[in-house]
Amino acid sequence: MDLKTRVVYNGQSFTKLGVSARNRVQFEGLIQHRRSSHSTKTSAAHKTIFSGIQPTGVPHLGNYLGALREWVQLQNGATEGTKLLFSVVDLHALTVPQDAPWLRNCKKEMFATLLAVGLDPARSAIFYQSDVSAHTELFWILSTVASMGYLSRMTQWKSKLQLPENTNLEDSAARAKLRLGLFSYPVLQAADILVHRATHVPVGEDQRQHLEFSRNTANSFNHLYGSIFPLPEALISPAKRVMSFKEPTLKMSKSHPDERSRILLSDTPEDIHRKIKGALTDSEPQLKYDPDNRPGVSNLIEILAHFEGKSCEEVVSEFQHSSLGALKGHVASRIANHLQPIRERYIALIENKTGYLEDVANQGSQVARSNAERTMKQVKEALGL
Ligand code: AQP
């Protein structure tokens, strides 16, 4: 079935995007730069790029700048032969209690967003994690080599349960609240990456710790059973941590209770202007980039810098004679203009009744399944299963 030529929305067909020579050079440069800062060597001939996002709500600006925009850039600049796999990691969403109709809807919204931002099913396998059972099969196998000590030191389970960072497993609050799924979530994430033998994983800074854990787990497995998994390298986005508009010392998050703390990719220009206008800043008269002491205004400067491809210093010098209100207005317009076509594509995809999203998901899961099964065959042979 040729999905490329079948669907046209708003006069725009969802076909493969051209790979310009410039993009290709940028991509190669990015990989090369990052490879040189790691000890692991990966063959240029076997690049596999994998990443995932949880269906816990429509993605926000942090997800976009920290992950999704990078995924699309990597896809558009990828050389022939690079494997690209992107997953809506629905099993991870189960680490907190879910309502079935809500989750079903969130999955669809997330899938539509991945296409709306520019992932191209003709180039990338886009799939739901739960459609590829090898992810959970490898999760079990990796859990037999994953270190409990390492997992207990990780921050995610503590922050999700709102426990202090120095909490350990002996702590009574941890014992009462912690479930095995939340605790072992990084093992499933390692399986997501390793089952596709990913060499490069584009993520936001908050995922660096999980990537290190994946490498550690791959190493433990390889040491015991033979060299099956490449050690995946994190491709950390330049937008490391986009901060909350209401609590700018916390990262922007889908699950924060205050919806004004984040801009969603589906927000209208009016929503965007309202949220930026209400963003918590300070009363200092002079504009200054100082994330430690002035996190609110620094967050706005950083966001603008990411959209305009400038440094924070350049943004500050451009706005040094302007009011904070003028800066806010400019940031809001910049974001609104950038997100407008994404929002239009998103709405068209969500309203489409032809089964297009399901077709793309089926196509993506077939590719992902066959890729994962090749790994599982080797893993099982190595284990004697
Ligand atoms: N604020 C952020 N700044 C930069 N990057 C971010 N990412 C998330 N928040 C920011 C990156 O987005 C990708 C997908 O994240 P995820 O949904 O799988 O999980 P998350 O990191 O837990 O994201 P949220 O928004 O905070 O979701 P909830 O509230 O459900 O936990 C990742 O690459 C992440 O780095």
**Nearest-atom index, ligand 1, CA of 244:** 1
Query: What CATH class has 259-349?
Result: mainly alpha
What pLDDT score was predicted for residue 290?
95
- If DSSP states are collapsed to H, E and C, what string results for 62-115? HHHHHHHHHHHHHHHHCCCCCEEEEEECCCHHHHCCCCHHHHHHHHHHHHHHHH
Q: What is the pLDDT of residue 17?
A: 30
User: Which amino acid does the sequence have at 326?
Assistant: A
Ligand 1: residue of 56, 61, 63 to mutate (most ligand atoms within 8 A of CB) is 63
Query: Is the CB–ligand 1 distance for residue 59 below 6 Å?
Result: no
- pLDDT for the residue 45: 57
Burial class (CB in 10 A: 0-12, 13-18, 19+), 342: middle
Closest residue by Cα to atom 26, ligand 1, is 253
Alpha helices in the chain (DSSP H): 3-6, 21-36, 61-63, 69-77, 100-116, 134-143, 148-153, 156-160, 172-177, 180-183, 185-194, 208-225, 269-277, 295-308, 312-319, 324-351, 356-383
The tens-digit pLDDT sequence of the chain (385 residues) is 333 333 332 333 323 333 333 333 333 333 333 333 333 344 445 799 999 999 988 899 999 999 999 999 999 999 999 999 999 999 999 998 899 999 999 999 999 999 999 999 999 999 999 999 999 999 999 999 999 999 999 988 998 898 998 998 989 888 899 999 999 999 999 999 999 999 999 998 889 999 999 999 999 999 999 999 999 999 999 999 999 999 999 999 988 889 999 999 999 999 999 999 999 999 888 899 999 999 999 999 999 999 999 999 999 999 988 999 999 999 999 999 999 999 999 999 999 999 999 999 999 999 999 999 999 999 999 999 9
Q: Is 270 exposed, middle or buried (0-12, 13-18, 19+ CB in 10 A)?
A: exposed
- 251 among known catalytic residues: yes
Mutate which of 192, 253, 258, 298 for ligand 1 pocket (most atoms within 8 A of beta carbon): 253
- Please choose from 205, 206, 264 the residue to mutate so as to test ligand 1's pocket, defined by most ligand atoms within 8 A of CB: 206
d(CA 107, CA 111): 6
> With contact defined as beta carbons under 8 Å apart, do 205 and 240 qualify?
yes
Domain edges within the chain: 1-30, 46-146+184-242+355-383, 259-349
Closest C-alpha to ligand 1, atom 14? 53
* Residue 264 bridge partners (DSSP): 60
CA 220 – ligand 1 centroid, Å? 27
- According to DSSP, the residues that pair with 53 across neighbouring strands are 88
Rounded to two decimals, the pTM is 0.86
pLDDT of 343: 97
Q: Which residues pair with 48 in a beta bridge?
A: 83
Ligand 1 site, residue 160, Cβ cutoff 6 A: no
Give 93's contacts (C-beta < 8 A, 6+ positions apart): 54, 55, 56, 103, 106
Q: Which of 47, 158, 246, 254 is catalytic?
A: 254
Catalytic residue at 83? Answer: no
- Which class does domain 46-146+184-242+355-383 fall in? alpha beta
Q: Name the maximum alpha-carbon separation found in the chain.
A: 70
Please give the structure tokens belonging to residue 150.
């390492």
Nearest ligand 1 atom to alpha carbon 60: 25
Among 285, 287, 309, residue whose Cα is nearest residue 299: 287
At residue 365, the pLDDT reads 98
pLDDT at 2: 34
Tell me whether residue 177 is one of the annotated catalytic residues: no
Say if 46-146+184-242+355-383 and 259-349 have the same CATH topology: no
